Amino acid sequence: MNDPVHRGMGAIDQGAAMVAQNIAFTLNQVACTVNVDPAMRLSDLLRDQLGLTGTKIGCSAGDCGACTVLLDGHQVCSCLVAAAQAEGRGVVTIEGLAQGGRLSELQRAFLAHGAAQCGICTPGMLMAATDLLTRKSDPSESQVCDALGGVLCRCTGYRKIIEAVLAVARGELDAPQPPAGAAVGSRIAKLDGLAKVTGSERYGADAAPVGALWLRVVRSPHERATFRIGDLQSFKQRHPGLLDVLTASDVPENSFGIFPQVKDQPVLADGHVRFRGEAVIALVGEYESVMAIHEADVPIEWQPQEPILDVEGALRGARPPLHALAPDNVLIRGRVVKGNVDEALVQAPHVTQGTFTTSLVEHAYIEPEAGYAERFMDEQGRDRIRIFACTQTPYMDRDEVARILKLNQGQVHIVPSAIGGGFGGKLDIAIQPLLAVAAWKLDRPVRCVYTRPESMLSTTKRHPAKMHARFACDDQGRLTATDFLGDFNTGAYASWGNTVANRVPIHASGPYFVPNVRALTRAVYTNGPIAGAFRGFGVPQSTIVHEALLDDLAEQIGMDRLEFRLLNAIRAGQSTATGQVLRASAGLHECLLHLKPAWVEASKRAAGFNARQEGLVGPLRGPRRGAGIACMWYGIGNTVIANPSTIRVGLRESGRVLLYNGAVDIGQGSSTILPQICADALGLPVHLFDQVMGDTDLTADAGKSSASRQTFVSGNAARFAGEALRKKLLAMLGVPADAEITLDGDVLMAQGVRVHLCSLATDAEGNVATGEGYFDPPTTPLDADGQGVPYATYGFAAQFAEVEVDLELGIVKVLSVHAAHDVGRAINPTQVEGQIHGGIAQGLGMALMEEYISGKTDNLHDYLIPTAGDIPPITVHIIEDAEPLGPYGAKGVGEPALIPTAPAILNAIRHATGVRITHVPATPDRVRAAILEQSR
């Protein structure tokens, strides 16, 4: 089935068709001659013609570096190199790094130091670093940053990658292999890491059936319009090789959406569009034919309409609503009310308030959406469809595709590819229904790879928000009231807007004990890009508000900003805004105490620096430094609604253990964490584990990889599965419950009893025994005032940042970040640190540079994300305030890692300059304007 052929995102512009010619070069130390178009991209030559899919494609524009290879020993973006330029030269790809089956030292260091998360940037990073280490065996950190500067990573925050490159010179190349019972807490290497560092991992664009057709989507150029499709018959005749043109009428049930009550998005628009980039028509056929069609030749007549672009316009209701289900354009309202806010505000001696706005933020995962679908008859003679694609949620994909095709859920088989980053953006279906409709209708395999601009134009974003709040405290600094109002622009379709509107009010008063809270939100439809799930579901936006206002109050009463937070930090035994009494594992207090010594030093450093600067250059000139602190909390898992996970584990007759792991690893590490947990519950070493991951035919439903839930929820299921299998094995051996079990090859032993596993009967899956675990976090519904238990547990964190601000240019440089996170228990400290680094990098991007503007920043050149040189040293403090409900006490850290970073940076800017930035990103022009405004 696997034809390892990817077609790039368009060839280098060639003008007239070129004649193929022979090109001879050395590829991974082997002589090689190809007969191809000399203008073909080297990246496409490697992938399409030579099957070396280890070289990845993130943009085909020289912006991401995922395609980096060595050309005569020097790193180059192979998407910018024409095949003819390889003539007579040496090309090395990631497939050429391991020699004689042995990984290079750099590959080993990447594994040992957790340098690969999703792994899509890893080949490019390895090639760039190999170039450096060949020239300089013991580089400095800044030399490493310079060498890696052309390769983007959206997951790691670069620190583990830099650490791995530096570790080569020190010979620190191996991760521990813990014995039985010691996997939890160990820094084992990522169990799916080998494929990532060798280039053998298969992402959505890396595999498809032989002869698969290609699907290309024609999208709306308008934000709001009606349209009429013309004569498709003659259009097809004009384009031989174009086999079909799909329209709305080809989709059996032309609607989808996250929530059962809001199926508001069509697979293909039916007569009108609601945002620029909406899918209108799908062209299906041979690659060259489909890609050669000029969009102006597609028979669509447009009638543009005046769009509704912002929340204010949507709420004014001057134009017809976007959806019949929301006559006032409000998708949903969120509400949490506790105590008497109005009275508390009147009585409070100290009140502050502010209005804050945020921008659209793009996920910018390096892997654009890609995959294929094929219709097939299974062994029972059932007519089915299989979809291989990048996804964060295979079971939701299965159910939604079944609904769209009007099939039974069992007729849909989802096989998740490796996923090159998600961050919430791959929780929504994108290519899946289009591929499914095409493959089902044509009964031919069909594949699709989104271009970078298409990915950015058409998929979901972080909600832009407009938020106003008032916070109050007493004379001792104890918070007495929070009053929060937030509007979240959910764009053209609902996506996860309901979740954002419901999660934000719960978190809007921050991780503090506040007796009186009123938090109201609205998710509002507009003709903007669809806003959906993005690491934190709205909480990163609302955290900017409460952390700015806490600084105000601390200043009003003359208290140190960390001490003010320490005084108010919610503790076990206190109740949240929803009236939930926290029973345990509320470690914010400890996080702040861990930060305190470094915070005191950083504050002094900034003051000393600024005093010197003032003396040297006077006011409003030169750089100034500041330190800013921010705290966060985050409910782990879904808000209120059921959130179950089921995990199975089997003992094979070979003596290996097979984990049936339905949790998709999007780079966050669940494919390592869950075996670590299960191994200790079972009592066998984790290195005996193999896994089946995410396949809906082979695993049970472990729920989606989002809401920081997999460690807590699926971790518990993995633990219970391990315990259940252990119980069966003990019974099989006839030994007591506390007996130590061991495996010697295929011999199972305990207390002198030995069983040859191959002598036992196996089940249909080849297991001699299996265990299954299930966990659904206990929550209760919220009442009309939002009172109840929305989450079983919460993650807590405090971070502080030191910044330097150029007063004349408005440029902000982050000098360091300290991050203290209460994760309950660090199942794998390396991965916890990696998540925190990655979250901080995304938070830094949100604070200072990331702003998506549809039609203007639909690429990785104009849409800026942090590079290796942007990320400062990060000191991680892991706090383990064990969660009694968690597997070995663990909670989750994926989203908490990002949430406090932007507010900490903004508060540091204010400390440095005295200026409060109320709109993110704090780009140099905005910072400069705010400084000037204040000086007037």
666 CA to centre of own chain: 7
Please tell me the distance from the alpha carbon of residue 218 to that of residue 283, in angstroms, as a whole number: 7
- By the 8 A CB rule, do 502 and 639 touch? yes
Kindly write out the interface string for residues 352-391 of this chain, putting x where it contacts ligand FES by CB under 6 A and - elsewhere. Answer: --------------x-------------------------
334 vs 634, 750, 778, 788, 850, CA distance in Å? 17, 56, 21, 14, 27
- By the 8 A CB rule, do 167 and 885 touch? no
Window contacting ligand FES (CB under 6 A); options: 63-71, 262-270, 668-676, 692-700: 63-71
Among residues 5, 12, 50, 67, the one that binds ligand FES under rule CB under 6 A: 67
Minimum gap (Å) between residue 158 Cβ and ligand FES:
9
Minimum gap (Å) between residue 66 Cβ and ligand FES:
5
- By the 8 A CB rule, do 70 and 86 touch? no
Q: What 3-state class would DSSP assign to 345?
A: helix
Q: Which two tokens stand for residue 481?
A: 């009231």
725 vs 636, 673, 692, 720, 754, CA distance in Å? 27, 18, 17, 9, 17
| 46 counts as binding ligand FES under rule CB under 6 A | no
Residue closer to ligand FES, measured from CB, 201 or 822: 201
| 779 counts as binding ligand FES under rule CB under 6 A | no
| 535 counts as binding ligand FES under rule CB under 6 A | no
Residue closer to ligand FES, measured from CB, 421 or 453: 421
Kindly write out the interface string for residues 88-117 of this chain, putting x where it contacts ligand FES by CB under 6 A and - elsewhere. Answer: ----------------------------xx
**What DSSP state is assigned to residue 47?**
I
Residue closer to ligand FES, measured from CB, 363 or 507: 363
Window contacting ligand FES (CB under 6 A); options: 53-61, 249-257, 343-351, 436-444: 53-61
Region for 364 from its dihedrals, namely left if φ exceeds 0, alpha if ψ lies in -120 to 50, beta otherwise: left
| 817 counts as binding ligand FES under rule CB under 6 A | no
Place of tokens 């049970």: 700
Q: Which residues contact 715 (CB under 8 A, 6 or more apart)?
A: 673, 674, 677, 827, 886, 887, 890
Among residues 58, 464, 510, 722, the one that binds ligand FES under rule CB under 6 A: 58
- By the 8 A CB rule, do 472 and 509 touch? no
232 CA to centre of own chain: 39
Residue closer to ligand FES, measured from CB, 255 or 859: 859
Q: Which residues contact 154 (CB under 8 A, 6 or more apart)?
A: 118, 121, 363, 364, 365, 366, 421, 423, 838, 841, 842, 865
Minimum gap (Å) between residue 150 Cβ and ligand FES:
8
Minimum gap (Å) between residue 65 Cβ and ligand FES:
5
Q: Which two tokens stand for residue 864?
A: 């800026």
Window contacting ligand FES (CB under 6 A); options: 60-68, 198-206, 298-306, 749-757: 60-68
Site for ligand FES in 656-685 (CB under 6 A): 667
Count of residues near ligand FES by CB under 6 A: 25
| 841 counts as binding ligand FES under rule CB under 6 A | no
Minimum gap (Å) between residue 693 Cβ and ligand FES:
17
- Return the bridge partners of 32, or none: 25
Minimum gap (Å) between residue 420 Cβ and ligand FES:
6
Residue closer to ligand FES, measured from CB, 154 or 891: 154
62 vs 6, 141, 854, 861, CA distance in Å? 18, 24, 21, 9
Window contacting ligand FES (CB under 6 A); options: 153-161, 222-230, 771-779, 911-919: 153-161
The helix or strand, by DSSP H or E, that contains position 39, with its residue range, turns out to be: none
What is the 3-class SS of 227-278, one letter each residue? EEECCHHHHHHHCCCEEEEECHHHCCCCCECCCCCCCCECCCCCCEECCCCC
Window contacting ligand FES (CB under 6 A); options: 150-158, 402-410, 544-552, 643-651: 150-158
Among 296, 295, 320, smallest CA distance to 307 is for: 320
Question: Could you please report the per-residue DSSP string of 182-212?
Answer: --TT--PPPTTHHHHHHT---BTTS---TT-
What is the DSSP pairing of strand 753-756 with strand 741-744? unpaired
Kindly write out the interface string for residues 16-45 of this chain, putting x where it contacts ligand FES by CB under 6 A and - elsewhere. Answer: ------------------------------
| 57 counts as binding ligand FES under rule CB under 6 A | yes
Place of tokens 């547990």: 793
What is the DSSP pairing of strand 753-756 with strand 767-775? unpaired
| 77 counts as binding ligand FES under rule CB under 6 A | yes
Residue type, 611: A
Minimum gap (Å) between residue 366 Cβ and ligand FES:
4
Among residues 111, 120, 567, 898, the one that binds ligand FES under rule CB under 6 A: 120
Residue closer to ligand FES, measured from CB, 161 or 586: 161
Minimum gap (Å) between residue 244 Cβ and ligand FES:
30
Residue closer to ligand FES, measured from CB, 155 or 544: 155
Question: Could you please report the per-residue DSSP string of 536-582?
Answer: TTTHHHHHHHHHHHHHHHHHHHT--HHHHHHHHB--TTSB-TTSPBP
| 70 counts as binding ligand FES under rule CB under 6 A | no
| 337 counts as binding ligand FES under rule CB under 6 A | no
Kindly write out the interface string for residues 409-428 of this chain, putting x where it contacts ligand FES by CB under 6 A and - elsewhere. Answer: ------------x-------
Among residues 45, 79, 308, 673, the one that binds ligand FES under rule CB under 6 A: 79
Among residues 50, 92, 94, 121, the one that binds ligand FES under rule CB under 6 A: 121
For residue 604, count other CB atoms closer than 10 A to its CB.
Answer: 11
Residue type, 45: L
660 vs 203, 511, 672, CA distance in Å? 20, 36, 13
| 60 counts as binding ligand FES under rule CB under 6 A | yes
For residue 117, count other CB atoms closer than 10 A to its CB.
Answer: 30
Residue closer to ligand FES, measured from CB, 38 or 669: 669
Among residues 27, 92, 111, 118, the one that binds ligand FES under rule CB under 6 A: 118
Window contacting ligand FES (CB under 6 A); options: 62-70, 200-208, 767-775, 893-901: 62-70
Minimum gap (Å) between residue 861 Cβ and ligand FES:
10
Among residues 52, 153, 524, 679, the one that binds ligand FES under rule CB under 6 A: 153
Window contacting ligand FES (CB under 6 A); options: 55-63, 471-479, 766-774, 874-882: 55-63
Window contacting ligand FES (CB under 6 A); options: 147-155, 500-508, 609-617, 817-825: 147-155
Residue closer to ligand FES, measured from CB, 156 or 198: 156
Window contacting ligand FES (CB under 6 A); options: 154-162, 316-324, 335-343, 545-553: 154-162
Minimum gap (Å) between residue 871 Cβ and ligand FES:
12
Residue closer to ligand FES, measured from CB, 104 or 117: 117
Q: Which two tokens stand for residue 383?
A: 């007519």
Among residues 6, 47, 113, 154, the one that binds ligand FES under rule CB under 6 A: 154
Burial of 234 (0-12, 13-18, 19+ CB in 10 A): exposed
| 59 counts as binding ligand FES under rule CB under 6 A | yes
The footprint of ligand FES (CB under 6 A) covers 57-60, 62-67, 77, 79, 116-121, 153-156, 366, 421, 667
